Amino acid sequence: MTGETGVTGGLESLRGKVALVTGASSGIGEAISEALAREGARVTLAARRVERLHALAKRLAGAETLAVECDVRDEEHVKNAVARTLERWGQLDILVANAGFGYRKPTVEGDTAIWKDMIDTNVYGLLLTLKHGVPPMLERKSGHVVVMSSIAGVVATPGGGAYCGSKAAASAITDALRMEVGPQGVAVTAVEPGVVISEFQSVAGYAPDIVPNMLKGATPLYPPDVARAVLFACQQPVNAAINELIIRPRGQVYP
């Protein structure tokens, strides 16, 4: 029952909504884009590997999609992705700030170039995405922002200093945004997944024992598991906002 509170309220339709997903070329962002498109949303697919975005758009034939090259570290790229979305569809309803990557090394052994790139992507790139993606929602006093943080932003681990720090920043930025824009009609959700098997592990240069040590025999998550949870958050009626969503493999104990 749209707009009603109480246990009998159902989920909202996403048909015709306009979404922008950063990091749509792989893993979680790709799965979220696919799930949104399947629900009838029109989706801007943003990432650096534009050929991947075109391949995804082709796979989603039947859905309305727009592939835009976007490096979230570059303010002009981010502005362009938002502008192209508005040009094409005139509005923005769902912003998924998902682009990011991981890295594990004891702090005293950390590679400073990787640290800088990580802060530029996971923190500064997130801020740019929010700075330029949220105003069109404020104008219409409606919308939903989903930020892909991590369980690493909630629980620090040895070797995770830079990544955990970047994701703790992402969760804090998201909570500040929630307080700023919630009263103006924009819902904000921080998603904090545990182990999800994607290209994340190879991009992060994980040694082969890292994931088994985290899972200790538990079955991991896969990107569609996270996409399903994100979809649920986006489908809440206008009076409700899921502000924080921790999703771990059922058997993952730590982190």
- Counting contacts by CB under 6 A, is residue 23 touching ligand NAP? yes
Strands 244-247 and 18-22, by their bridges, are unpaired
Which of 103, 124, 163, 206 is the catalytic position?
Answer: 163
Q: Could you give phi then psi for residue 93, rounded to 5 degrees?
A: -105, -35
**Best CA proximity match to 44, nearest among 78, 20, 22, 75:** 20
163 is catalytic: yes
Of 136 and 223, which has the nearer Cβ to ligand NAP?
Answer: 223
Binding-residue pattern over the window 124 to 163 for ligand NAP, x denoting contact by CB under 6 A: -x----------------------x-x-------------
Min dist. Cβ of residue 5 to ligand NAP (A)? 31
Which amino acid type is present at position 251? Answer: G
Length of the chain: 255
Indicate whether 27 belongs to the interface with ligand NAP (CB under 6 A): yes
Write each residue from 28 to 67 as x if it is in contact with ligand NAP (CB under 6 A), else as -, in one continuous string.
xx-----------------xxx--x---------------
Q: How far apart are CA 211 and CA 43, in angstroms?
A: 32
DSSP state of 98: -
Please select the residue that binds ligand NAP; options are 45, 56, 95, 196, rule is CB under 6 A: 196
Q: How far apart are CA 188 and CA 177, in angstroms?
A: 7
Residue 224, number of CB atoms within 10 A of its CB: 16
Window contacting ligand NAP (CB under 6 A); options: 12-20, 83-91, 180-188, 196-204? 196-204
Contact call for residue 82 and ligand NAP (CB under 6 A)? no
Query: And the tokens for 46?
Result: 């943003």
Q: Does 102 interact with ligand NAP (rule: CB under 6 A)?
A: yes
Residue 121 binding ligand NAP, by CB under 6 A: yes
Q: Is 164 exposed, middle or buried (0-12, 13-18, 19+ CB in 10 A)?
A: buried
Stretch that binds ligand NAP, among 36-44, 175-183, 190-198, 231-239 (CB under 6 A): 190-198
Residues numbered 62-81 forming contacts with ligand NAP, rule: CB under 6 A: 70-73
Nearer to ligand NAP, 79 or 237 (CB): 79
DSSP-derived 3-state class of residue 152: helix
Rama region for 30: left / alpha / beta (φ>0; ψ in -120 to 50; rest): alpha
Interface stretch with ligand NAP, choices 3-11, 18-26, 35-43, 171-179 (CB under 6 A): 18-26
Q: Which two tokens stand for residue 222?
A: 């896969």
Is residue 195 a contact point for ligand NAP (CB under 6 A)? yes
The CB density around residue 199, as the number of other CB atoms within 10 Å, is 13
Q: Which residues make up the interface to ligand NAP (CB under 6 A)?
A: 22-23, 25-29, 47-49, 52, 70-73, 98-102, 121, 125, 148, 150, 193, 195-196, 198-200, 203
Task: State the catalytic residues.
Answer: 163
